Amino acid sequence: MLRFNSAFRILAAIFTLWAVAGCAVNPVTGRSELSLVSEAEERKIGAEQYVPSQQGQGGRYQVDPELTAYVSKVGKRLADVSDRKFDYEFVVLNNDVPNAWALPGGKIAVNRGLLYELNNEAELAAVLGHEVSHAAIGHGAQAMTRGTLMQGAMAIGAIAVGTSDYKKYGDYVLGGAQLGAQLVTQTYGREAEREADHYGIEYMVRAGYDPHAAITLQETFVALFEDKKSGWMEGMFASHPPSAERVENNRAQVAAMMPKLAGHDLETGEARFNQAIAKLQKTKPAYKAFEDAQKAINKKDYQTALVKVDGCIRQVPEEARFYGLKGDILVSQKQYSAALQSYDDALKRDSSYYDYYLGRGVAHSRLNQTALARQDLEQSAKILPTAMAMNELGKVALVDGNRVDAKRYFQQASQAKGLLGEEASAAFARLDMADNPAAYATAEVYADRNGRILARVSNRSKVEMSGMAVQFRALINGKVVERRVALLTLAPNTYQDVSSGLAFPADTAWTADMMAVQLLGTGK
């Protein structure tokens, strides 16, 4: 059985902090501010949401662990001089979208797609210093205090949604992992961005980096923003919108700092940076082809997509995402056995990514291998609880004849928006209708002018009713008479008059309270 108690406790804890809330001095800005989230809670939220948030953004970039070590080293250099001593962590995510984000407690990630656009280590330090500042100032915690988060299921970012038949509806994070998803994708206000820029530059200088890189970085961002360059609009610019004002603020701050920095050995680290991203740059064509394959899939051009992804595999055979995408393509082509092999190949290279288990679980399900399907789908949901996994688990449970589990899974999946949520809601309703028909329909008994006893059954739900029965009860000639009549089907938002086959004798003075009706489900 899947359990998300720990994740839900995080959400509950945030709302119970009203009892201990108070004003505290921010260790970075020096402001006195109300906070409903203690530092201990910031650390806990960051630690528990870090892995799910990585999963929801493409998973870790595993092909080049030395690159993650390098980014982490630069990040630690900035964290060591920050005004708040969290247990900072830094990872590189396997995501084409140019972006970076920070969770409360100093858990920070940089997408592979952003590293392509940087020119030196100092610009990387500007990015990481900005994210360290968000965490140190507590902007995520402040968002929770203001109540601007936790407003529903969140779509998973940058994971080729819509790339296969079983993913045609996209996917959504469920349960406690929703909090991390919203923290990652939130848009900071103008003041928060200004603060993160300001203190990020201070941390750069303290760590020995040339702060001019913060200016060139923002200048590049503004130029890209004005060009509406694809990828940036849904990545860095969605959560960290650049502006000419930010460039001028950075320029003024650096100009004011420079007289005091005369004689200091401030570095850009261009040679180190180029060496660190050499493999990333070398493999860039393969990841571009990977993007092209995803676009081809969205156009249902599976053959082109397969050719593209096979080329990716030849170029970078150690990249698990390429095998995972190939599995998705093969599922779309209903080549389920071949898809299983591709997912196996992906999991051999990265057994930590939820999506490979999800895909393999679907392939097993389509082959009627329900035990293996359930095992993979549960593992996927354990790593990252998603509506897709819950919906598929519901289908597997139905095949196994387990209505109780099927209802539970469909109900969880119904949190999702769009077609996926609608599909899961309808599946839940069809099952629950048999157990709780009165929650979906009404039955009103009446007798016509000839004394015949009928019931008007109204379907108030969005799904077709079937397998229901109407139980009539009437007092006729002093005796209680019961009659059960099957109701075959009833379309959504329609009604049907059902005859009981019973009638009061012509000479009987009957009243409304002499008859009753009950809507029954079959429980099947």
The answer to the question of residue 179 being in a domain is: no
What are the tokens at 260?
């005091």
**C-beta of residue 94 within 8 angstroms of C-beta of residue 37:** no
Q: Is residue 262 part of a domain?
A: yes
Residue range 369-394: mean pLDDT, rounded = 96
User: Where a domain ends, among 234, 256, 281?
Assistant: 281
Question: Which H/E stretch holds residue 446?
Answer: strand 441-447
Residues 441 and 424 in one domain: no
- Note down the domain range covering 14: 5-148+186-281
Per-residue pLDDT band for 164 (boundaries 50, 70, 90) equals very low
> Does residue 159 sit within a domain?
no
% of the chain surpassing 70 pLDDT: 88
506 assigned to some structural domain: yes
Cβ contact 354:360 at 8 Å: no
Look at residue 97 in the predicted model and tell me its pLDDT: 87
Residue 16 lies in a domain: yes
At 169-199, the pLDDT tens digits run 568 888 888 888 888 877 778 888 899 999 9
The answer to whether residues 401 and 494 belong to one domain is no
Give the domain-ending residue among 435, 456, 478: 435
All residues at 6 or more sequence positions from 468 whose CB lies less than 8 Å from its CB, including other chains: 433, 434, 437, 441, 457, 486, 487, 490, 519, 520, 521, 522
- Using CA atoms, how far apart are residues 231 and 227, in angstroms rounded to an integer? 11
Residue 2 has pLDDT above 50, yes or no: no
Together in a domain, 431 and 444:
no
Q: What is the CATH number of the domain that holds 445?
A: 2.60.40
Residue 241 lies in a domain: yes
Of 116, 111, 108, 102, whose CA–CA distance to 224 is shortest? 116
Rounded Cα–Cα distance for residues 445 and 504 (Å) = 14
Q: Clarify whether residues 337 and 470 are in a common domain.
A: no
Predicted confidence (pLDDT) at residue 235 exceeds the cutoff of 60: no
473 and 407 co-located in one domain: no
Cβ contact 311:289 at 8 Å: yes
Q: Which two tokens stand for residue 513?
A: 């309270």
> Is residue 157 assigned to a domain?
no
Task: Examine the pLDDT at 9 and tell me if it is beyond 70.
Answer: no
pLDDT tens across 71-120, in order? 999 999 999 999 999 999 999 999 998 889 999 999 999 999 999 999 99
- State whether 452 and 369 are in the same domain: no
Write out the H or E segment, with its range, that includes residue 121. Answer: helix 121-137
Is 270 in the same domain as 325?
no
Res. 10 pLDDT band, cuts 50 70 90: very low
**237 and 331 inside one domain:** no
Print burial letters for 253-281: b (CB count within 10 Å at least 16), e (below 16).
bbeeeeeeeeeeebbbbeebbeebbeebe
pLDDT of residue 229: 63
In a shared domain, residues 353 and 492: no
Q: What is the distance between the alpha carbons of residues 313 and 271, in angstroms, rounded to a whole number?
A: 30
DSSP-derived 3-state class of residue 444 = strand
CATH number for the domain harbouring residue 367: 1.25.40.10
User: CA 458, CA 461: separation in Å to the nearest integer?
Assistant: 9
| End position of a domain, from candidates 418, 435, 452 | 435
Q: Is the pLDDT of residue 303 over 80?
A: yes
Is 98 inside a domain boundary?
A: yes
Spell out the SS3 assignment of 354-387. Answer: HHHHHHHHHHHHHCCCHHHHHHHHHHHHHHCCEH
More confident residue, 307 or 1: 307
Overall number of domains in the chain: 3
Q: Report percent pLDDT > 90 for the chain.
A: 67
- Residues 308 and 254 both lie in one domain: no
In a shared domain, residues 343 and 388:
yes
Does residue 513 share a domain with residue 448? yes
